Structure formats: C-alpha cells, structure tokens
Amino acid sequence: MGEISKDDVEKYLENNPQFAKEYYDKKLRAEVVGSVFKVNPGDVKDGISFKEMTKLEECQVLFELMMEIQEEASSVEKIVHKILQRLAQLLAADRCSMFIQRSRNGIPEVASRLMDVTPTSKYESNLVPPEKEVVFPLDIGIVGWVAHTKKVFNIPDVKKMLLWSANKVFEELTDIERQFHKALYTIRVYLNCERYSVGLLDMTKEKEFYDEWPIKLGEAEPYKGPKTPDGREVNFYKIIDYILHGKEEIKVIPSPPPDHWCLASGLPTYVAENGFICNMMNAPADEYFTFQKEAFDETGWIIKNVLSLPIVNKKEEIVGVATFYNRKDGKPFDEHDEQLTEMLTQFLGWSVLNTDTYDKMNKLENRKDIAQEMLMYQTKATAAEIQTILVSVNENCDEKQLIKILKEELPEPKDVELYEFRFSDFPVTEHELIKCGIRMFFEINVVEKFKVPAEVLTRWMYTVRKGYRDITYHNWRHGFNVGQTMFTLLMTGRIKKYYTDLEAFAMVSAAFCHDIDHRGTNNLYQMKSASPLARLHGSSILERHHLEYSKTLLQDESLNIFQNLNKRQYETVLHLFEVAIIATDLALYFKKRTMFQKIVDAIEKMEKEEEAIKYISMDPTKKEVIMAMMMTGCDLSAITKPWEVQSKVAIMVANEFWEQGDLERTVLQQQPIPMMDRNKGEELPKLQVGFIDFVCTFVYKEFSRFHKEITPMFDGLQNNRVEWKSRADVYEEKMKKIEEEKKRQEEEAAKKG
C-alpha cells in the first residue's frame, strides 16, 4: 500500500464533509481551539473561522475572557470593548455596539459609547467622543426600547423595524408639543446645526365675540399685524428651543414676548406670514432682518447663519415655524440641508393630523357622554315614578321589607293571565304592565337568588318602559308582550328545564329590552336614509342599537339589576343579551331555523326526558340556537293570539308600515313596496296569509313538535290563517269581478270602435 500524502488526506476530507465533521467533533479537544485564542489583545483573529465552535469550545473562550478581564487594570470601556470583540466572534456578528443609559434635563436617554466593534477593530476607533454621540429617548428606537423594557429583543428582519421610531412618534396622541419634541429629539444628531427652535402658532381663526367688543366700541385698535396665508393672526403661543452645542439643553418658552431672541429678528414671523423657506447665509450682515449680533450667553454663542421653514399640516395650514442656527462646520446651510429640514417639517406637519384626530375623537367621546347623561336624565325613572309602584317606603326599611312591600303591590299572575299564551295587554294599563313585568322576575325566582335590590328592579323596569318611544306598534306594549311570551315559553312551555336560573333571568330581561328606542322604521329604511344608526352599525342595525341601549342602562349602577353577579356571570348575561336581541333580526331567521329543526328531530327520537335535557343543557350552542328561535317566536307572537287580539294588532303593524311607506314616498322619493303602501291597504289579508305561510308556520309548528305544551300557539296561528284567508278570498273575488268588468267594457269599446 502506497504512502498517503497530506494532499490525499485533504482531498478525502473535502470529498467527505460528514466524516470530517464527525471526526473533528470526536477527536478535537477544547484546548486545541483554546490555544488559538491565547493571543495578544491587539491580535484577535477574524471571527468568521469560529462559526462552527462547539458548546465546550465556547465555554473555553469565555473562561479565557474572564481571566483576561481579571488581569486587565484599565477602564471599564476597554474591558467592555474586549467583551464585545469576543461576543462578535461567538455570535458570528458583523459588529457590536454599546449604549449607556443616563438622564439629561430630567429626560432618560441612551447614548452611544462604543460603536461598530468587530473582532479585529481597535479600541480607539470604536470609542465615541461626546460630540458625536448617538442619543435616543428611552421609548424611541430599538436600543431605547430595550433599555426601557429591560428585555432582550431579537429582530430577525430589521427592515420591518425601519418605521419603528416614526411609529413611536405617532403614538404620542395627546400633545402636539410632545409629538414635535419626540420627532426632533430623535433626529437631532442628523441636523448638523448648533441650535434650533420651533415656534408653535395659535390656530384660532376667529376671536370670541367678547374679544371683539372693545374693537367695535372703538376702545381698541383692530389687529393690523401680519397674518398667515389662511387669515390667522401670527401669534406664537410657545417656543421650544433646542441647544445642541456645549451642554445639550431644551428650553420651553410659553407665551413668548415679541422681543424674545427667537422672534426679535422678524424671520419666524415672515416665514409664518408668507410660507417661504428662508436661508440666511450671513445673518449678522442681513439688512431686512435684525439678528442679534452680540453673544447670547456666557458661552459666547452668536448667530452666524440661519435656515427657517414653515411647518404645514395636511390642510395646508401653517402650524409653526422651525428655525435652525449655525451649521456645525461653520459653512452656510446648503441645498442638502434645505431638503433634509424640509422633509422634517413635512413630517412634523403631517404628524399634527394625529393629535388633531385624537382631539376630535376626544371631543366626540365627551359629546357622547354628555348626550348619554342627558338621555339618562330624561329616561331614567324618577323617585316619584318609582314610588307609584314601590309605595310606603321609609328610610329604615331593609331589603327584605322592601321585597315584601313590592310583592304586595304586584298583580297576581292568574288575574292577568301571565302564564297563558293567549295573554292580551289591551285590558291592562301601561303602568300596570310595569308591575306585571316585575312580577315575572319573582315568578322565575331570580330576585332573591341573585340579590336584585327591589328599588333597582323597579327603577330598571320603569326606565325600560320609558325607553320605548310612543309609536304605533313597536312601543312599550309590544316590548312587554315579547317579555311575557318568553316567560310563558319558559314556564308554561316548560323550556326552562334546559336553562339555568341565570340564563332565564337574562332571557326574560333581554326580551323586555329587545326593541327599546325603536323608531317605527325598519333596517332597510335606516340604510336607504343613511341614518346615523346605519353609519354606526353595518348589519342588524336596529337590533344592535337596542342591544347598545340595553347595555347602556346596565352601566348605571342604580339601574343594573345584575349588579350583584360576579364577573363571569355578568359576562354571560351580556353575551345572552347579544344572542337574544340580535336574533330578532328576521334576516337571520332563515339561517338558524334548519339548525333548530335538527335539534327538534333529535329530541323527538328520545324516549326519556332526562336524555333530552342532557342533550340540550350540556351544549351551549344548542341552547343559544333554541333561545334565538324563542326570541323569533316571541317577537311574532301576536300572530298566534285570539282573533280579536290579532286583528287589532295587525292593523297597528300595518299602520306603522304605512307610515314608513309615506316617508319613503315623501322623504326618499321612492315608491314603497305593497306591504308599506297605504294605497294597497285592502291587500292586508293576502299579505298576512303570505306572512303566515312563509315565515310563521315553521316557527310554531316546530315548537309544537319540540314541546306539546306550546301547541296552543300553533293552533292560534292556524285559526288566524283561516280568518285572514277568508278575508283574502273575499278581496280576491272582488278584484276578480272588477277585472272581469274592466275586460267586458274593453271588449264592448272594441266592438263599437
């Protein structure tokens, strides 16, 4: 066998990299690699060759580094420099930098101390002198944010972080001065000037009427000074002065006098008046503007050259003036400086939009709160109104006594047929309906169980009644009827067995509130008329408004009947309110009825009641589907009432529809559909039959299958269909005779012709 040369070994290792790796991992000791690192501080090798170091080898390097640090008696910066060199090797990083945290003028910041350290770079070239520091506030930039959060950040793609600083600037919503300060503070290292100031202009265009009185009475001269291009008086309400030479400092001058050095020259006023960019290459020699020629302070600083630019917002209004003094190299500001500062002032101007928008949002929020407070004042039940129900109450009554007093004032369920599907509100006054509503909560045993204060329950029920508008159909009587039907389905229809007491409490409450503040027009009209509600809610417009109104009432502690629930229970109630109230949107009815039918089919096949209860009560989704269908059944329940009740209610519904049709014809200039057209009122029986067949029959037929106790509703529906069909047939016969007579007359006219 021939002798193996070095070239043969090298070639073999190159052709078999996996074998080479396994061999070196097994045979090469840490000491061998460690010897490579035992070099003089100035002779560190390039870190590229150490990318594949093992964990053991890394430990050896770090150990040697600790030994060197202990031996090193020089400054902290030199020790850190050595550490950064080793870290650059271990991490295979291009370079490393170190920033120190400090506070200047009370503002915490981080400043560069060692920049661009590589495994081979010299300490002297990496040390940053004070005049060349890169400085960040603690909430600006990646470095500042790391110092602020005290957390490690690993940025896989730094390109995604390029707008990070800008984002932090735009996060400053509350104050334009703070926003400008953040932006200018962040980029001041790039401005290449010794000092700059920002003057903020008063944005008031019109004076208050009382400020005009002295002028109109001749007691004061009208303003004759400079004005901005949009007609505002040039009035700098604040100046922010940034000193970058010597000791860095920031000065804020509120309400600066006209002779303040920033304004005394007249340049900022001129820029604000005309909107020009002014570059004064030799400021002391300028004859138009009077710049101060002597030193400003003990440092001997004087103005040499000046660059001044307007700050313009998105509305093209001048909101301030930025003025830069003395380029650092002593030369005048050039075209490049103008471009840089112009981009900066554009950014500042655009950023104003952020604070303006935030200010407008705040004002809108405040207006909303005021409007809500006014609404509550008008809607919320007064003490006198509460005493019409909760009478004979003295201050010493405890809650049990109040409950007892309240119960005594409430009607007996049998006297008003609260448990009957045939219940009619016509014989009952609206005030008595409030008492009936309160009675239902006692009947489902939730008042004492959930510690509902008697006065709060009374106030809530009375306030809900006042929340319904005095309109033709969707008024308090309709709201009460839906609540009563929900109560009857739960108790008489025996659906309560699937739900907890808390769920039943929420379902009955939501049913009472389901149409609160209804306007007498439907969702389609809201969209056609582009009403504020339509602009606010994208779908189920009125239903979402009823939901929000209901939740608003509960935000008032004196109206919150759920105030003694824990957080989880309260969240459950709000969710059930949403499910129940949104479910009354008939546009959603066709989506849910197939799901309900499948549940009914499954229940029919079960022999034991316990099996059915478990099947439904253990599945929240099934309970919500049934609840949603119950709300539809409650909302349409007038169609199942005895004929003498249903016929009257149908006329009320039709009248409200016709009122909407009148609005469509007069306000929207549109022809209403037949259901909304009072000129086609005779078609009401035909429309009712179609409504029963297309919408209602499925609901009550399936509920009668679901629970035989609910069959009276389906029977009532069928009886009413017979009544409406007979009247529809009479109308059809009448129309048929009219059509035949018309045809006969046309034929006779044709013969004579």
The continuous run of DSSP H or E covering 524 comes out as helix 523-528
127, burial (CB in 10 Å: exposed 0-12, middle 13-18, buried 19+): middle
Residue 461 identity (one-letter amino acid)? M
Distance CA 144, CA 149 (A): 9
Place of tokens 């007979």: 726
Q: Which amino acid is present at 476?
A: W
- C-alpha distances (whole Å) from 644 to each of 394, 420, 650, 657, 720 are 44, 16, 10, 21, 10
Q: What type of residue is 563?
A: Q
First to last CA, the chain: 130
The response to whether 181 counts as a known ligand-binding position is no
Which residues are within 8 A (CB) of 387 and not within 5 positions of it... i.e. 6 or more apart? 393
Q: What does the alpha-carbon distance between residue 307 and residue 612 come to, in Å, rounded to a whole number?
A: 83
Contact 226, 272 (CB under 8 A): yes
CB atoms closer than 10 angstroms to residue 176: 22
Consult the annotation and say whether 16 binds a ligand: no
392: left (phi > 0), else alpha (psi -120 to 50), else beta?
Answer: left
- What does each C-alpha distance from 208 to 212, 255, 367 come to in angstroms? 7, 19, 21
- Count the neighbouring beta carbons within 10 Å of the beta carbon of residue 137: 20
Active site residue 707: no
| Rounded distance between C-alpha atoms, residue 169 and residue 140, angstroms | 8
Report the distance separating Cα 599 and Cα 609, nearest Å: 14
Q: Which of 538, 524, 435 shows the shortest CA–CA distance to 480?
A: 435
CA-to-CA dists, residue 242 to 9, 113, 632, angstroms: 68, 22, 67
CA 90 – CA 48 distance, rounded (Å) = 9
Q: Annotation-wise, does 261 bind a ligand? A: no
> 10 Å Cβ neighbour count for 101?
13
> Per this entry, what is the length of the chain?
753
Q: What six digits make up the tokens of 360?
A: 């407008």
Q: Please check if 459 is assigned to a binding site.
A: no
Q: Are 419 and 449 in contact (CB under 8 A)?
A: no
CA quadruple 284, 289, 290, 291: dihedral sign: negative
Please say whether the beta carbons of 615 and 603 come within 8 A: yes
Annotated binding residue 469: no
Is 535 annotated as contributing to ligand binding? no
Phi, psi of 392 (to 5 degrees): 55, 45
H helical segments located in 72-95: 76-91
Kindly list the distances between the CA atom of residue 653 and the CA atoms of 68, 476, 595, in Å, as whole numbers in the listed order: 93, 14, 29
The number of C-alpha atoms within 13 Å of 412 and in the hemisphere containing its C-beta is 2
Q: Alpha-carbon distance 495 to 631, whole Å?
A: 13
Sign of CA dihedral 315, 317, 319, 320: positive
The strand pairing partners of 325, in sequence order, are: 195, 306
Of 148, 245, 336, 474, the active-site residue reads 474
Q: What's phi and psi for 104, nearest 5 deg?
A: -130, 125
Structure tokens at 553: 């009432």
The pair of structure tokens assigned to 180 is 């400008």
C-alpha 549 chain-centroid distance: 18
* 718 annotated binding-site participant: no
350 labelled ligand-binding = no
Please report, as a single letter, which amino acid is at residue 746. E
Q: Is 356 annotated as a binding residue?
A: no
Distance between CA 519 and CA 541 in Å, rounded?
Answer: 12
Which residues fall in the annotated binding site for AMP? 474-478, 515, 635, 688
Which residues fall in the annotated binding site for Zn(2+)? 478, 514-515, 635
Which residues fall in the annotated binding site? 474-478, 514-515, 635, 688
The residues that are catalytic are 474
